[in-house]
Chain A
């Protein structure tokens, strides 16, 4: 199984810290799986111009291919101006239609204000739905007060991250099992 953690911000450190911690947890719990990590701060992506993702070349095709090959996708993101940051939206724009079909996708959100708690519900989920993702209903929302000296602190957040991993992997495996059962019925 291909598991991809995508840190969807090109600014700051909180999303990177949170997604790195999540990746380390995954590596401990799912060492047999193929776990990949992409931080948008480390790659250079052009704006989408509508071409097929294989036609961009460079970082874009590499990043987009990893997303297309993932079975499970954890998206980390800050909230900017009460919505997803432009670099993350650009990743979605760069992908083809139905790009997330048969993939289980969950979210890990960092924010400076708890007024933004519902932003993933009405700004992120519709985009993921349009891309046909199998969305994990619960997400983890982390406030900036949880960060101290470059570390994510607090038992509450720690346990919620564990729970996010469980929820995501259970949903993914359930979906894949039922998918395999259904595929077998097609007879081809």
Chain B
């Protein structure tokens, strides 16, 4: 027995092939090749600039996530997305991830819906719970409530999104009594597509399936196969809960760096990744794991355009996902190098991937 899925789904036209987008977590780190750390003001404007470039190159989506730790400027990511909405015309925009656990879902909806109206319906939300957890203390929450906070607030966000008025009671926020949360997006559902961000947790993928919401799977490295089990579990759980898995979109996201010559990509990008990981997580990225990106089976998308196309298609065969989102600016990549990546993606990667992933109905 199939349930009517109550959630708002992103509009993805599968007949045009996979969607390909970019995301930034808004790191603010020195370029390891030059040691230069640009001012925060310039970094913020360059993220907006990168979104415009992505639009010009024909990419489908630009996404910005929030981080409250040192070496980042994306704390007010929805404000930044609003600037991106203003600077662009047709590219989809998404928040990824919005840390819903430490935010008020009412305010997140109000802000995201406002961006949706300003951008003529281009806004989506990816809600997560953060891997680095300094923001719990900063914003007045206890890390002991890590899971409970996320589940309660994520479900409240869905409820607000799917109902014009909300009656709600929970543990971490004042009750809502016949509350009207506005403004409403001007689409049929009067709501926003909301994805559940999943990291390394199988249980979280399972929960996404149980709720029947779109799943956004982040991946740093390792074999693509390791992520297949999570996506399979998601679809299987969705099916067991009466949802049609084919109606549920899956997005994947991870590091992306492309240069005409394979080894140039590895040489240029490794210091960004290694130094950036040291600053953001306190641990570098092992060279062996990075070198394994040269194998099509590794999920790390670094290499020549042909190699990246082959990898994304290999991943698509395995995941059958609808959207891939690359992080091309991690660890102080200069705007010139961001532009170079976007140009190559637009010319050589996106058209090839789309050509080979078009789906006609029933396929």
Q: Which residues of A contact B (CB under 8 A)?
A: 49-55, 65, 68, 96, 98-99, 101-102, 182-183, 186-188
Contact = CB atoms under 8 A, between A and B. Distances in A.
In the complex, which of the residues A49, A55, A68, A96 has the most CB atoms of chain B within 10 Å of its own CB atom? A55
A186 B133 contact: no
Contact of B282 (A50, A52, A102, A187): A52
A49 B287 contact: no
9 contacts: A51-B143, A52-B282, A55-B132, A68-B283, A96-B283, A187-B263, A188-B267, A188-B287, A188-B290
Contacts of A183: 287
B143 A49 contact: yes
A97 to B, nearest CB: 9
B195 interface: no
Given A51-B143, A55-B133, A96 B282 contact: yes
A188 B270 contact: yes
Interface string B249-266: 000000000000001001
Q: Which 8 A-B pairs have the closest CB atoms?
A: A188-B266, A188-B267, A54-B282, A51-B133, A188-B270, A55-B134, A186-B291, A52-B132
Interface in B32-80: 69
A96 B134 contact: no
Contacts of B286: 98, 101-102
Contacts of B134: 51, 55
Contacts, number: 47
A68 B270 CA distance: 20
A99 B283 contact: yes
B266 A52 contact: no
Contacts of B132: 51-52, 55
A186 B281 contact: no
Interface string B112-154: 0000000000000000000111100000000110100000000
The prevalent SS among residues of A at the interface is: loop
A98 B270 CA distance: 19
A123 B34 CA distance: 46
A187 B143 contact: no
B267 A187 contact: yes
Nearest to A61: B282
A98 B133 contact: no
Given A50-B143, A68-B283, A182-B288, 17 more contacts: A49-B143, A51-B132, A51-B134, A52-B132, A52-B281, A53-B282, A54-B282, A55-B69, A99-B283, A102-B286, A186-B266, A186-B291, A187-B263, A187-B266, A188-B263, A188-B270, A188-B291
A182 B134 CA distance: 37
Nearest to B132: A52
Interface in B290-339: 290-291
A65 B287 contact: no
Contacts of B283: 68, 96, 98-99
Contact of B281 (A96, A187, A188): A96
A102 B284 CA distance: 11
A91 to B, nearest CB: 15
Nearest to A65: B282
Contacts of B282: 52-54, 65, 68, 96
A187 B261 CA distance: 13
Contacts of A50: 143, 146
A186 B286 CA distance: 12
A65 B263 CA distance: 33
A71 to B, nearest CB: 13
Nearest to A102: B286
A101 B288 CA distance: 12
Interface in B230-284: 263, 266-267, 270, 281-283
A100 to B, nearest CB: 11
B102 to A, nearest CB: 14
A49 B263 contact: no
